[in-house]
Structure 1
Amino acid sequence: MKKAVITILLAPMLAHATMTPDMPGRGAERIALDRGETCYVPNRLEGAKYSKKDLGREQELCSMNISASAAVCGKVESTNPALEFFEIAEGWTAAQMEAKNCFIQKPGGAKDDNAFKKLAKYKLSTSCSYTPSLLAYYHVSRFLGNINQVPPAVLRTVDASIHRSIGTKALVTISDKSSLIAQTWTGLLSILTKGSAHSKATNVFTDDYKYSFGALQYNPTKEERYSEMLNGGTDQLTRTANFKAKNSTYINLTKVGSLASLGLSGWSEKNAQEVLKMQNVADMILLDTMLSQQDRLGNLHYTMEPYMLVTQNGKTKVDKLDSLSKKDLASGQKYPAGTIMLKKMMMKDNDCGVAKENHIKNGKLLEGLRHFNPETFEKLIKLMKLIDTAEGKAYFKKETAMSATDIDLFEDNVEYSLKVLVNACKAGQLTLDLDLDSAFAGQAVPDCRAVIQAAQQ
């Protein structure tokens, strides 16, 4: 397994142009930070669904000043040499937290993960990570109907000397210099130190080579690893094959017929959970096919969310309720009678995509789908229209830092995905029934051919 992971992380990256901070039209708002750093509150992608929380978190991300409004330390675990941003804890200064590399050890030496609140991670185009991937997943997921809880991410810069200093300290902290995280930090520090003389410098630097550029992604909470979505294997090629052959939810997605024919009729926690899983998996497969994800299986998460079947004014619908916090529950607050708790997928590990090996596409998982969500399908048709325009291409260049080559590949993958699903529709093998309201509240299932016709008008 270690060899396979090292191959992915240390493989050479395609060349990318340096980032132009003052590119006309980039960002709806440019936030000036300390040391000349810049953060870009993105322009809205026309037709996308951004929540009030999304917009608030974009502003929050762009207000984070290194060592001033947030303590920032280099990641010393796992594989990616990211910068982690933490809330300055009560009774602490940023400098004091950074002196401890932003973590405290429990008695016995174990790390106390709850000592400091992690706010965000800054990742850039090094090892398997690719800045445009994190940004594109955010905006494309919102365009498709705000699917699968992809965390907000913004484009920003970091002073190269500060980045080197934080990274050097992180590398010193890592005791096992043969570990993957030590190797990836060593590689990144080489780029940051050599600057324009390094062969990979254009992947991480702004035009003047004074700043690194990357994506700052909001750090979600309360998520758990989605273990049911991993069916064995030590590399993504094997994991994809195993998922296709063994995952019960994917197998259900490949079966022609109604949800009732799969035993999924009648509102219950078991039935609702499987329909939601099917919707989440189908949406994941589409996103990862379009955005060339190399490292998905084994990197999926979920949150527990409350749902309830309600009838008002003679109409029945499935309501997604607001979640109660641990504090709320401890104070005696309860969900209404009849509430069920369902696992809802979260796709938060999205950095290894866009210009990477497309395992989901190569495994032809999209070709097997016989059930899909109607809104996602309709939005896919509109996405194809958008990316085929000069305005659409300009958006992804400015707001996600995609190169012209990246945009061409993305467009090809969108066209491929749409063709696969449209062909299944025309063959009478695609049902747009992956929606809790149509599955359990009597809402009509739209005919995919009618959706195609309406979206083309």
Structure 2
Amino acid sequence: MKSLWVLGVFAVSVACSSANAFNLGDLRGGIRQQFTSPNSLYELCVVPKKWQGGDYKNGDIKKEVELCTFDFYTNMGICPKYSSTNPGVLLIKPTSKNSKTTIDASHCDVDVLGYKTEAKFKQTFTCSSTPSILAYYQVSRLLGDINQIPVSVIRTMDAGIHRGLVDKANKYLKGSGRYTEITWKMMEKVHLNPRDYPALIDDTHRQIYGALSDNVKNEEKYTEVSGRGSYSTRYTRFLSLAPFLRLTETRSVTEIVGFSEFAKVAQTVVQMKDIADMILLDTLLNQQDRIGNIHYKFYWMFVDPSNNSLNRQKSDAKWKDNVLIVPEAEKTEMAGKQAALVKQMVLKDNDCGVTKTNMMRKLQVLQKLNHFSYRTYRKFLAFEQSLQSPEAKEYFKTELLFGDKSFQSLLKNAKEARQILKGKCERKELRFDLDLEGYVPNAPALNPQC
């Protein structure tokens, strides 16, 4: 873990020495909401505009609007984040049991207190990057709504209020041995020397800015994909496990599984697609810290007998004492249908990217894939082409807060990924057999074009 911290600090120090002071008036966005802090500062919540070609659900739009109704001083409790590595602010919805006053006055160890986090406010600090959080959401939708990336928006906060949270965290964590004891202590320097941190403090030195993201709930760690072991060997471990190795097979999915029936292949197809999509996303966005930060939730995938279409439905299945408990009502609803209860990947931690070490690219992971989703492939080719326009650079800079160097890195990563995937397709080394729609009975034959 220590090596990650050193790399994160180095990345931040470089950014701080080269970035220009940030004027909150330069924020664009499609929706802007203003809040007033106790110090009479006007905080902002900004929903970035959307680049053409994205697949956004109605729920995405509603969640963007909801995030921009969260007021740090009226309808949300605020707490410093003590878990993991990066400091951040947790937004907790008050209840009849725990009022905002109770939450704010507590020691804020949410795991101990049983608080449920609605959203997380993170900044560009240590391994965390505001542009990374914003870009993962938008780019995932541009690639066909892959990997269930949480909705995120831009948010600012009165630096004086944030300083109070820093002091609270340092007081509670002192002597705890938690990793965040180090990073919250480092955050003191931001408030002591705000002009040295333009990547997270505005040019007035009175507001801190970052990304506010929806907090996914009831997810499970996807250890089947990440494995268990030391941090230093996490990527080596990932590349040696069966879920990844299936993607390197030259055999078809049905040959790998041994069946072609929808219900029997569904989990394998979904898992393989999720991993391949993740590898592409992480390659594009310079992800440094993915393995170990992979989750899943349960969904039903089933064929509607009335029109032979593929459908997806949330499940309330959950583990209890290592036994999967599936609600009887769900079993009854799916009885008689071609249906499968599957784990679907959730990538909820996406802050360590854009300006970081690109581990997937470093290990040439994309080159190892012999299976891919044709839908993702076509979406990616369109996205890569759209990046060539002057409007794309302007979009990523003004809406997602990219610097010039970060955008050039995205361009380079996308160009290389296109060459890799298109080259494998033209050499007939890439099987497009990871779209579950293709396993629905009587599905039309796929005629992929490179």
Judged with a 3 Å threshold, the aligned counterparts in structure 2 of structure 1 residues 440 and 231 are, in CA distance, closer, same or farther, namely same
Amino acid at match of 1:21: L
Once the two structures are superposed, the pairs formed by residues 276-425 of structure 1 within 5 Å of their partners are 276-313=270-307, 316-323=308-315, 334-337=332-335, 338=337, 339-425=339-425
Native 8 Å contact 1:83 1:123 kept in 2? yes
Greater CA deviation, 259-268 or 412-421? 259-268
1:74 to 70, 73, 80: 80
CA contact (8 A) 2:266 2:340 kept: no
Q: Measured at CA, do residues 291 and 193 of structure 1 come closer, stay the same or move farther in structure 2, by a change above 3 Å?
A: same
Aligned to 1:133: 132
Secondary structure in 1 aligned to 2:78? strand
Superimposed CA distance per residue, residues 375-416 of structure 1 (whole angstroms, 9 cap, x where no aligned partner) = 110111111111111111111111111111110001110111
Match of 2:207 in 1: 211
- The share of aligned pairs that are identical, in percent, is 30
What does 1:14-163 correspond to in 2, within 5 Å? 14-15=14-15, 16-23=19-26, 26-35=28-37, 36-103=42-109, 111-113=112-114, 116-163=115-162
- Deviations along 1:88-112, whole A, 9 cap, x unmatched? 11144312211113457xxxxx714
Looking at structure 2, the residues matched to 175 and 270 of structure 1 have their Cα atoms a distance apart, in angstroms, of 52
TM-score, with length taken from structure 1: 0.89
**2:237 maps to 1:263:** no
Deviation at 1:270, TM superposition (A): 4.7
Whole-angstrom distance in 2 between the partners of 1:257 and 1:390: 42
Specify whether residues 187 and 264 from structure 1 end up closer, same or farther in structure 2 by C-alpha distance, changes over 3 A only.
farther
Residues 224 and 243 in structure 2, CA contact (< 8 A), matched pair in contact too: no
Cα pair 1:373 1:435 within 8 Å, conserved: yes
Which amino acid in the other structure matches residue 22 of structure 1? G
Q: CA deviation at 1:331?
A: 9.7
User: What secondary structure sits across from 1:10 in the alignment?
Assistant: helix
In the alignment, what sits opposite 1:438? Answer: 438
The unaligned stretches of length 5 or more in structure 2 are: 319-325
* Preserved CA contact (<8 Å) 1:164 1:193: no
- Return the offset for 1:229: 1.4
Cα distance, 1:139 vs. partner? 0.1
Q: Which amino acid aligns with 1:391?
A: E
Q: SS at 1:312's partner residue? A: coil
Aligned AA (1:335): E
CA shift digits 1:215-253 (9 cap, x unpaired):
0010011210000112355235x3222222x22122111
Report the AA paired with residue 336 of structure 1.
Answer: M
Q: Distance in 1 between matches of 2:379 and 2:435?
A: 15
1:150-201 CA distance string (max 9 Å, x none): 00000111111111111111111114255320110111121122211x3xx1
| Greater mean deviation of Cα atoms: 140-149 or 252-261 | 252-261
Against the structure 1 CA distance between its residues 75 and 123, is the aligned structure 2 distance closer, same or farther, given a 3 Å change threshold? same
Q: Report the Cα offset of residue 51 of structure 1.
A: 0.8
Q: How far apart are 1:3 and its partner, in Å?
A: 3.0
Counterparts of 2:55 and 2:258, CA distance in 1: 29
Q: Secondary structure of the equivalent of 1:157?
A: strand
8 Å Cα contact 1:318/1:441 also seen in 2: no
In structure 2, distance between residues paired with 1:391 and 1:277: 35
- Distance in 1 separating the partners of 2:334 and 2:159: 52
Q: Is the 8 A contact 1:73 1:84 kept in 2?
A: yes
User: What do the CA deviations read for 1:60-111 (whole angstroms, capped 9, x no partner)?
Assistant: 111111131100010122211110000011144312211113457xxxxx71
User: Which whole-Å CA distance do the structure 1 matches of 2:125 and 2:444 have between them?
Assistant: 47
Go from structure 1 to structure 2 and tell me whether the alpha carbon gap of 1:92 and 1:240 turns closer, same or farther (over 3 Å shift).
closer
Distance in 1 of aligned mates of 2:268 and 2:108: 40
How many residues in Structure 1 have an aligned counterpart in Structure 2? Answer: 432
Find the counterpart in structure 2 of residue 455 from structure 1. Answer: none
Report the CA distance between 1:304 and its aligned residue: 0.4
Over 3 Å counting, the alpha-carbon distance change for 1:332 and 1:274 in structure 2 is: closer
* Separation in 1, partners of 2:192, 2:283: 36
Matches of 1:352 and 1:256, distance apart in 2: 32
Asked whether the equivalents of residues 70 and 87 of structure 1 are also in contact (C-alpha less than 8 Å), the reply is: yes
CA distance in 2, matches of 1:445, 1:123: 45
- Cα distance in 1 for partners of 2:4, 2:189 equals 21
Shift of 1:34: 1.6
Deviation at 1:317?
A: 3.3
Offset at residue 325 of structure 1 (A): 8.6
Measured in 2, the distance between the counterparts of 1:83 and 1:342 equals: 33
Q: What amino acid is the match of 2:101? A: A
TM, length-normalised to structure 2 = 0.90
For the 8 Å contact 1:291–1:354, the answer to whether it is kept is yes
